């Protein structure tokens, strides 16, 4: 269904989201089993929601043991080496940024493969890209990454949109996926490095009451 390029991007997304989940566990000073749990839930969460919405059950990590093994390995590595990082929260955000861009492409690609239209394919990319971060923040009680000022959902939307548009325009799948990934990751990287943000909603005073 998905070509080798999307499969590679999928595993890369699992690994970096697992790292972000394990880093969230380290910030909460949890134990090693909770590192494993947070790595597995965050690493596999977005793809799980994607497969549920597409009706692709049993879920990918039940029929295939490798994604889970990858999460476990990443959790152990983070447990052993996270203290060497200057800022574990910055590392978490950068891992999350790679995962966000990767999952936006993979989610949209799987949706296209089931015959979804333009807009639904993009939404599925956005939802599966953001769900790992959402569930990680809910489980560890962090302020949701969705509420941060710099662009987040927008980066997933841009990545998924560029990929789907390039696919509709007839580009080869790996080329479209690369373009989408670079667009999504580039925007989020700019947001993390330079604080890029869209203008926020500022309520003006209420209108005069009608006659």
Q: Which of residues 103-142 bind a copy of itself (CB under 8 A)?
A: 111, 114, 116-120, 123-124, 126-127, 130, 134, 138-141
Nearest CB to a copy of itself, comparing residues 8 and 54: 54
204 binds a copy of itself (CB under 8 A): yes
Nearer to a copy of itself, 149 or 175 (CB): 149
User: Where do we find the tokens 């940024």?
Assistant: 97
Question: Could you say whether residue 73 binds a copy of itself (CB under 8 A)?
Answer: no
Which two structure tokens, joined as six digits, stand for 153? Answer: 């959902």
CA-nearest of 96, 97, 112 to 176 is 112
Q: How far is the CB of 175 from a copy of itself (least distance, A)?
A: 25
Q: Please, which of residues 159-198 interact with a copy of itself by CB under 8 A?
A: 197-198
The correct pick among 54, 165, 171, 182 for binding a copy of itself (CB under 8 A) is: 54
Q: Does 1 bind a copy of itself (CB under 8 A)?
A: no
Tell me the C-alpha distance between 47 and 176, whole Å. Answer: 20
Q: Residue 86 or 169: which CB sits closer to a copy of itself?
A: 86
**Burial class of residue 204, CB neighbours in 10 A (0-12, 13-18, 19+):** exposed
Question: Is the four-CA dihedral 6, 55, 166, 191 of positive or negative sign?
Answer: negative
When binding is defined by CB under 8 A, the residue of 7, 90, 146, 168 that contacts a copy of itself is 146
Angle at 202 between CA 198 and CA 206, to 5 degrees: 155
Nearest to 121 by CA among 152, 151, 166: 166
Residue 19 and residue 82: Cα distance in Å, rounded? 10
Of the candidate residues 20, 151, 177, 179, the single one contacting a copy of itself (CB under 8 A): 151
Q: Quick one: which of 1, 86, 170, 211 contacts a copy of itself (CB under 8 A)?
A: 86
Output the six-digit token pair for 47: 């793809």
d(C-alpha 65, C-alpha 62), whole Å: 7
Residues 60 and 47: their CA atoms lie apart, in Å, by: 8
Task: Report if residue 59 touches a copy of itself, rule: CB under 8 A.
Answer: yes
Site for a copy of itself in 8-47 (CB under 8 A): 25-26, 28-37, 40-41
Per CB under 8 A, does 77 bind a copy of itself?
no
Least Å distance, CB 116 to a copy of itself, is 5
């Amino acid at each position: 269904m998905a070509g080798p390029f999307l499969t590679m991007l999928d595993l890369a997304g699992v690994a970096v989201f697992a790292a972000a989940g394990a880093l969230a566990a380290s910030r909460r000073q949890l134990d090693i089993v909770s590192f494993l749990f947070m790595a597995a839930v965050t690493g596999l969460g977005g793809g799980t929601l994607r497969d549920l919405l597409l009706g692709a059950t049993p879920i990918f990590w039940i029929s295939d043991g490798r994604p889970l093994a990858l999460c476990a390995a990443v959790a152990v590595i983070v447990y052993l080496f996270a203290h060497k990082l200057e800022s574990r929260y910055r590392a978490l955000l950068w891992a999350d940024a790679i995962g966000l861009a990767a999952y936006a492409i993979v989610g949209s690609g799987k949706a296209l493969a089931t015959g979804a239209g333009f807009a639904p394919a993009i939404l599925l990319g956005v939802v599966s890209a953001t769900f790992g971060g959402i569930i990680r923040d809910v489980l560890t009680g962090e302020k949701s990454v969705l509420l941060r000022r710099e662009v987040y959902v927008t980066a997933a939307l841009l990545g998924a949109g560029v990929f789907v548009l390039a696919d509709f325009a007839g580009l080869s799948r790996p080329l479209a996926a690369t373009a989408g990934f670079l667009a999504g990751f580039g925007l989020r990287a700019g947001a993390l490095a330079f604080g890029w943000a869209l203008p926020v909603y500022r309520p003006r005073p209420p209108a005069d009451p009608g006659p």
